[in-house]
Amino acid sequence: MTDLKIKLGQRIKRLRKERGYTQEVFAEKLDIATSSLGYLETGRYYPAPENAEKIAEALGVEIHDLFYFKDIENKEELVKEIKNNVDALIDNDEKLLILYQFMKTLL
């Protein structure tokens, strides 16, 4: 698992709990399986772009807020982490396309 997946999952989980949602209730609100939400929160999977939009909306945040990681304190470290994760996807055309589509939703 990449650090980015784990950090994103932790962020989603933290925001979900701050809003008082159980995994079951939040998964139902997103129209996904509870197990799928569990996989997202533990960093096993990235959310699909459409699910990331649903997650942000359900949590009442902008999509970029899902990627606000307090432990990354400077721009250089953040850019390095992003590049490392993109490099890890170079040989996976499907995931690379999903990442591209996801990034387009952020811009």
Instruction: Report the pLDDT value the prediction gives residue 43, as an integer from 0 to 100.
Output: 92
DSSP 3-state helix, strand, coil percentages of the chain (rounded to 5)? 70, 0, 30
Q: Which residue has the tokens 């990449």?
A: 2
Structural domain boundaries, residue 58? 3-106
| Cα torsion angle, 44, 49, 51, 55, sign | positive
Give the pLDDT score at 41.
96
User: Residue 1 above 60 pLDDT?
Assistant: no
Domain count within the chain: 1
Check which CATH number belongs to the domain holding 15 and give it.
Answer: 1.10.260.40
pLDDT of residue 67: 86
Q: What is the pTM of this model?
A: 0.67
- Residue 91 structure tokens: 């040989």
